[in-house]
Amino acid sequence: MKKIVVTGAAGFLGSHLCDKLLSNNNNIIGIDNFYTGRKENIAHLLNNKNFTFINHDLIDFIKLDADEIYNLACPASPPQYQKDPIRTLKTSIYGSLNLLEEARRLKAKIFQASTSEVYGDPDVTPQTEDYRGSVNPIGIRACYDEGKRCAETLFFDFHRTYGVNVKVVRIFNTYGPRMDPNDGRVVSNFITQALLGQPITIYGDGQQTRSFCYCDDLIEGLFLMMNSSDRFTGPVNLGNPNEFTISELSELIQDILGKKSKIIHKPLPMDDPRQRCPDVSLAKKELDWTPKISLKEGLKMTISYFDKLLSGKVN
């Protein structure tokens, strides 16, 4: 039985990762400070004898005991990470540094949940891992993008300097049950607005594209990456390469629900990327991973979760 630390355990992806690792008979130590995570996401785990929860802010050092560390702690939606940008930077930078020091001491393998945002508003599409990105270092998204870029630098410097076994994944837009309905991400916004009979808010003309990966596909990729050969450090893109415009996403949600919503257009936020699409050939080659769940299937499962959540039938 491996001892595995998951940071950001009460978040959307962290809680799904804990489920997956527990189902594989591991001992999990989940760490979170509930900055954007929710108690409901881990309520079902609190009586599991193989799960321990620690309420801790990773900006501060914590002594660990683990064979593997997955670092997912960081607010992920723009309204959340922009609320306190300095804190976001500290979480990515100090948080990664603290965990890397522990991985080095413990000789533990350490995983970083990086992001497609390291590519900024990209000049090339789809993005391959060798594209170095186009990030505005002084814009309102920089606290997240540059924090994650700096975390990647720390991971690779710990790898080169101390031989720490690192695994870095660049996650593209992922959605599914347990997303926070209020955290301002496009999928949860559209579903919540449509279910509540409110107008759907589209920023810009809706022609900007995104690729949407269902959480189960993504979690499988994170697991395969952590368990891949030591020689493979990444960074590796994980996401769904099927591109949709934001308008198409809103139409698909309305089709599934069988009702039409009014659409309201608002101005695009500063530095919003026009296009975002992963090239996942490296993940296919190294991890034999490709996403399997279509946007329609994934949205149906997500809508069903939000429907129950909004009518008080799930936590």
Ligand X SMILES: NC(=O)c1ccc[n+]([C@@H]2O[C@H](COP(=O)([O-])OP(=O)(O)OC[C@H]3O[C@@H](n4cnc5c(N)ncnc54)[C@H](O)[C@@H]3O)[C@@H](O)[C@H]2O)c1
- Residues in contact with ligand X by CB under 6 A are 8, 10-14, 32-37, 57-59, 72-76, 91, 95, 113, 115, 171, 173-174
Determine the Cα–Cα distance for residues 80 and 197; give it in Å rounded to an integer: 25
> Which residue from 165, 187, 190, 186 is spatially nearest to 176, judged by alpha carbons?
187
Residue 260 Cβ, how far from ligand X at the closest point, in Å? 27
Chain length of the chain = 315
CB-nearer residue toward ligand X: 179 or 195: 179
Q: Three-class SS of residue 110?
A: strand
Determine the Cα–Cα distance for residues 1 and 7; give it in Å rounded to an integer: 19
CB-nearer residue toward ligand X: 89 or 108: 89
CB-nearer residue toward ligand X: 261 or 289: 289
**Alpha carbons within 13 A on the beta-carbon side of 229:** 7
Assess contact for 256 and 217: CB atoms under 8 A.
no
Active-site residues: which are they?
144
Assess contact for 244 and 211: CB atoms under 8 A.
yes
Residue 59 Cβ, how far from ligand X at the closest point, in Å? 5
Residue 243: beta bridge partners?
211
Longest dimension (CA), the chain: 57
CB-nearer residue toward ligand X: 261 or 275: 275
Residue 9 Cβ, how far from ligand X at the closest point, in Å? 7
Residue 33 Cβ, how far from ligand X at the closest point, in Å? 4
